[in-house]
């Protein structure tokens, strides 16, 4: 059966202008890398996909080439809602090719931070520079380099997996969209699901489809919110392997918000621990474990959450 992107596909997003859809609709696409295939199949050499300048498939013209090897630099970022401070004075610098973990309990400010990093939420104070560009001043130049995935943000249910990916490929201006979709389908074991409506997928299948959406434009900055939530251990482990391989092969910067301490220890080079919207502590996972005299990062997190550790 021949697949076609639906006419008026953007209208199909309709009231479903989710965080991901709204974010994708603002940009038009760059490039990056595909990792190896943790689910089996034809495994290709990752070095074939290493970064190029400009990356393959990148949109030409102003803003298509990053100005720095810093994936994202955040300075004194705050967000207030009246008298309530959701995020206060957050600063960090993430180099390309590194993974930063955001840890914190519910209400710690992780989701608010991700929304500001995507350009969906204006900060009350502070600055965000993505690959050297000011996100707040040059949003349309920056957003093609970014993408986002979360199991809590659905794609349009009535569109097939292929149609969803085709819509986002169009929004990002991805060249050779069909080839890119087929590539991601092979990588993420979605080939047999391309003609199935997204709403009829299992939780694990939806997560893989959402990740394919997040990688459609080969982002140089990938934002992940609980990427393996609700997955069975085997699928979650395979997805972590794929994400690690993508990040290492592409040189992308990754910001990962997660409650899964094993995931954070495995993937992250540095961790920022948030409590009540403020930085409680930061460092490499192993350094934090040693600093607080614990055996695992989960024990450190529980101490922070329960107020047993002090800076």
Question: What is the rounded average pLDDT of the residues 15-39?
Answer: 42
pLDDT score at 65: 54
Instruction: List, for residues 220-266, the tens digit of each pLDDT value.
Output: 999 999 988 878 888 889 889 999 999 999 999 999 998 888 899 99
Instruction: List, for residues 159-217, the tens digit of each pLDDT value.
Output: 999 999 999 999 999 999 999 999 999 999 999 999 999 999 998 899 999 999 999 99
Q: In terms of pLDDT, which residue wins out, 26 or 171?
A: 171
Q: φ and ψ at 40, to 5 degrees?
A: 95, -175
Residue 151 — very low, low, confident or very high, per pLDDT cuts 50/70/90?
confident
Integer Cα distance of 275 and 172 in angstroms: 35
pLDDT score at 301: 85
Residue 107 — very low, low, confident or very high, per pLDDT cuts 50/70/90?
confident
Look at the chain and count its residues: 311
Instruction: List, for residues 7-25, the tens digit of each pLDDT value.
Output: 444 444 433 444 444 444 4
Whether pLDDT at 54 is above 50: no
**Parallel/antiparallel/unpaired status of strands 278-283 and 270-275:** antiparallel
Instruction: List, for residues 59-71, the tens digit of each pLDDT value.
Output: 333 344 554 579 9
102: β partners: 257, 272
pLDDT score at 13: 41
Q: In terms of pLDDT, which residue wins out, 147 or 14?
A: 147
Please, are residues 101 and 266 in contact by the beta-carbon 8 Å criterion?
no
What tokens were used for 109?
A: 């400010």
Domains of the chain by start residue, with CATH:
11-305 (3.40.50.300)
What does the DSSP 8-state code read for residue 197? B
pLDDT score at 55: 39
Question: What is the rounded average pLDDT of the residues 44-59?
Answer: 39
225: β partners: 257
Instruction: List, for residues 55-106, the tens digit of each pLDDT value.
Output: 333 333 334 455 457 999 999 999 999 999 999 999 999 999 999 999 988 8
Integer Cα distance of 155 and 169 in angstroms: 14
pLDDT score at 2: 56
pLDDT score at 228: 87
Question: What is the rounded average pLDDT of the residues 154-161?
Answer: 96
97: β partners: none
3-state secondary structure of 270: strand
């Amino acid at each position: 059966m021949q697949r076609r992107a639906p006419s008026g596909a953007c209208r199909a997003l309709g009231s479903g202008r989710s965080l991901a859809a709204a974010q994708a609709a603002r940009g038009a696409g760059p490039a990056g890398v595909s990792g190896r295939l943790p689910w089996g199949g034809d495994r290709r050499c990752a070095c074939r996909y290493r970064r190029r300048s400009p990356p393959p498939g990148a949109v030409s013209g102003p803003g298509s080439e990053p100005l720095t090897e810093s994936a994202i630099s955040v300075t004194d970022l705050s967000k207030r809602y009246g008298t309530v401070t959701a995020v206060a004075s957050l600063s960090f610098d993430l180099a390309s090719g590194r993974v930063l973990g955001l840890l914190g309990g519910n209400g710690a400010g992780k989701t608010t931070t991700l929304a500001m990093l995507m350009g969906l939420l204006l900060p009350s104070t502070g600055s965000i520079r993505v690959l050297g560009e000011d996100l707040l001043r040059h949003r349309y130049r920056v957003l093609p380099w970014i993408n986002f995935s979360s199991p809590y943000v659905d794609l349009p249910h009535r569109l097939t997996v292929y149609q969803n990916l085709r819509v986002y490929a169009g929004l990002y201006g991805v060249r050779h969209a069909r080839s890119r979709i087929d590539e991601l389908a092979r990588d993420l074991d979605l080939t047999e699901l391309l003609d199935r409506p997204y709403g009829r997928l299992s939780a694990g299948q939806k997560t893989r489809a959402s990740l394919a959406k997040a990688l459609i434009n080969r982002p140089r900055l990938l934002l992940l919110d609980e990427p393996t939530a609700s997955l069975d251990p085997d699928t979650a482990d395979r997805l972590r392997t794929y994400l690690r391989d993508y990040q290492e092969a592409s040189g992308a910067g990754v910001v990962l918000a997660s409650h899964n301490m094993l995931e954070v220890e495995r993937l992250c080079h540095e961790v920022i621990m948030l409590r009540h919207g403020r930085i409680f502590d930061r460092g490499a996972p192993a350094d934090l474990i040693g600093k607080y005299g614990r055996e695992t990062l989960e024990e450190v997190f529980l101490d922070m959450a329960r107020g047993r550790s002090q800076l």
